[in-house]
Structure 1
Amino acid sequence: MALAPVIEQRAGCGRGARAAARLMRVFMRPLVTRLPWTPLTLRFAPLLDLGAALMPSPRGTRVTRVAGLGCAAEWVRGRGVPADSDRVILYFHGGGFVACGLRTHRRMISRISQAADMPVLSVAYRMQPRVPIQTSIDDCVDAYRWLLETHDPDDIVIAGDSAGGYLAFMAPLHALRAGLPRPAGIAALSPFADLDIDVKIAHANAPLDPFIPARRMWDMVRTCFPGAELTDPWLSPVHADLAGLPPTLIHVGSIEVLLADAELMAERLGAAGVACTLQIWEGQAHVFQIFADLSREGLIAIQEIGAFARRVTTAVTPQKAA
């Protein structure tokens, strides 16, 4: 039975967010526009995560490395979050499938952990072009399977941003295909969900996005999805059978080009009978939550993610010590 997605227009864009968007338009968008997608340049993309080691985590953050997976991963607990919580979040970072990692996203993930009062398993899935996209998906499914050894599926929320938002949809879909139970919920931040870039080029936000030049996304698709059929349901979330997915929260900025993907994904989820809330945040850029140090709206959005995670899970988190 089809469900109309709940679409919330979140008004308000403060000076911090506007300043961040201006800086991205002046410095980041020209760089992304001109930087060639060649094997040589992509070889250095993972170094971005090493540089992020200079970014301190919020006070009280606890990080524990995880062994036993086919890729790097770590537990991140925000201040005051108990290690023995039954409820957890499984998080996949963004970065265009070629960059970023545990360090670039640790600060935002710590805030999400604190907002949800849950530990977060942050996964550094293997990336393109070193491995095919299926390997990235498999890494994420394996992390979910690993969590299921110690946690009830109704106590696991899967989340991610941008390319990680893509994986937050694809991992549950492939997990269901493998016979695994569905998680409690999905939270996707500015998700990439449609391999057809022409849709984004034609969107009204194409000239407005301060960070992503829509046409350059074809380079990402050609590199990370070589030879793929754009409507392949096992590679394109908007073309998949979504009926088995859990309640979903989607965040997107009103000026980013991936608004096209967010709106279409919410529509397709609703058509499949999946409860979906799409929050469109006024004046916000791509994955604005990562700029929460500058944007109060980023902090508010993170609180929304935490509230969603608590709402869709069932277990009672142990009481914190007084």
Structure 2
Amino acid sequence: MQIHHGTSARSLVVRTFARTFIKPTFTYFPSSGPLAHGLNALELGARVIPRDRRVRVEPVFGEGWAAELVTPRDGAGDGAIVYFHGGAFLFCGLATHRRIVERLALRTGLPVLSVAYRQSPKGLVETSIADCIAATDWLIEGGVSPERIVVAGDSAGGHLSFQVAIEATQRGVPLAGVVGLSPWLDFDNSVRRAHPNARRDHYIPAARLGRIARQVTGRAILEPGLSPVNRDLRNMPPSLIVCAADEVLRHDAELMTERLEAAGVPVDLHIWHGQIHAFPVMGDLTPESAASLDVISTFVQDQLGLSHLRAVTDIAV
């Protein structure tokens, strides 16, 4: 485990904004019913953000899912990343996560398949998992060896990255690695609500997670097997987990780290002080988010035996 101390001025501004505006919104905004469609405004608004001209984007369409294949214009290395966005299985999509996807492509020199999987109310978590497995299989069927694929995601997408890796392992498909950024890995909210970070978290209203879990799984009583932390983790590929020190999903990150270690799986946990939930998604907006992308990229390149970080000229300092 590695602990990263220090908080930049930019991160302090982001954390204050999240505590003042984002957390209250998530606390009271409905997650179901007609008003819940307002959550789509975040994805629609993100579409106006200009694309990075250093990458090319190819739309991909599957059965029920869509994706963007983001590739560096100056050439791509041997392998690929599959990225699953976060959003509690309720909102966000390709546009909200373009910043991190483009930066990972540029830093690693690899194509990144960013997947828009079905979410509530279009499907339950099992549908989301099936879409993400199908998207990963699309890459493999297109000629990318599974040993050259790293699956990654933040929050709910971190859940999906571990579920995809677990299913691949059980099918005898050896993926290269798993990356979880503030991953939501345990649907049981009882222990999490009593965690000290339930009060400290600047972004997530911890009390809502249990209700949202029941909504997105369609189960009034949650089954332990629905959570990646409770599944058979033996023979999983090496894993990297990143989280913020004060976020409530630190519980999930530490629990999964313990269980991966118990299963004999190599795992590296990085905990950043002074950050909000899923802060690497901001790309190079803060020095800490940029540094976390370097950690992720180094992990990916190590698993694939590639040379380390490419030059990226617009990293925040």
Q: Are residues 1:170 and 2:163 paired?
A: yes
8 Å contact kept, 1:154–1:314 = no
Of residues 235, 238, 245, the one that matches 2:229 is: 238
Q: Which runs of 5+ in 1 are unaligned?
A: 1-6
1:173 Cα offset (Å): 1.5
In structure 2, the CA distance between the partners of 1:16 and 1:290, relative to structure 1 (3 Å rule), is: same
* Secondary structure in structure 1 of the residue aligned to 2:97: helix
Cα distance in 2 for residues equivalent to 1:21 and 1:79 = 34
In structure 2, the CA distance between the partners of 1:158 and 1:247, relative to structure 1 (3 Å rule), is: same
Q: Give the aligned residue type for 1:283.
A: G
- Worse overlay, 167-176 or 136-145: 167-176
Q: Are residues 1:220 and 2:212 paired?
A: yes
* Secondary structure in structure 2 of the residue aligned to 1:102: coil
8 Å contact kept, 1:231–1:239 = no
CA deviations 1:193-218 (Å, max 9, x no partner) are 00111222111111111110100112
Aligned structure 1 segments of 4 or more residues deviating by more than 6 angstroms:
none
* Secondary structure in structure 2 of the residue aligned to 1:244: coil
- Worse overlay, 306-315 or 97-106: 306-315
Q: Give the aligned residue type for 2:288.
A: E
CA deviations 1:172-209 (Å, max 9, x no partner) are 212333x2412100011000000111222111111111
The within-5 A match list for 1:1-322 is 7-78=1-72, 80=74, 82-83=75-76, 85-149=77-141, 150-177=143-170, 179-227=171-219, 230-233=222-225, 235-314=226-305
In structure 2, the CA distance between the partners of 1:316 and 1:143, relative to structure 1 (3 Å rule), is: farther
Q: Give the aligned residue type for 2:106.
A: Q
1:100 Cα offset (Å): 0.5
In structure 2, the CA distance between the partners of 1:56 and 1:121, relative to structure 1 (3 Å rule), is: same
CA RMSD of aligned residues (A): 1.9
8 Å contact kept, 1:29–1:211 = yes
Q: Give the aligned residue type for 1:41.
A: L
Q: Give the aligned residue type for 2:129.
A: I
Cα distance in 2 for residues equivalent to 1:9 and 1:131 = 37
Q: Which runs of 5+ in 2 are unaligned?
A: 311-317
CA deviations 1:257-310 (Å, max 9, x no partner) are 100000001001111110000000111110111234431010010011111101
8 Å contact kept, 1:56–1:107 = no
8 Å contact kept, 1:78–1:111 = no
Number of aligned positions between the proteins: 308
1:314 Cα offset (Å): 4.3
CA deviations 1:127-183 (Å, max 9, x no partner) are 112212111100011111111121111110000000000000011212333x24121
Cα distance in 2 for residues equivalent to 1:69 and 1:23 = 38
8 Å contact kept, 1:186–1:248 = yes
8 Å contact kept, 1:48–1:100 = yes
Q: Give the aligned residue type for 1:307.
A: T
Name 1:3's counterpart in structure 2.
none
- TM-score norm. by structure 2 comes to 0.92
- TM-score norm. by structure 1 comes to 0.91
- Worse overlay, 48-57 or 280-289: 48-57
Q: Give the aligned residue type for 1:257.
A: V
Q: Give the aligned residue type for 1:122.
A: S
- Name the % identity: 41
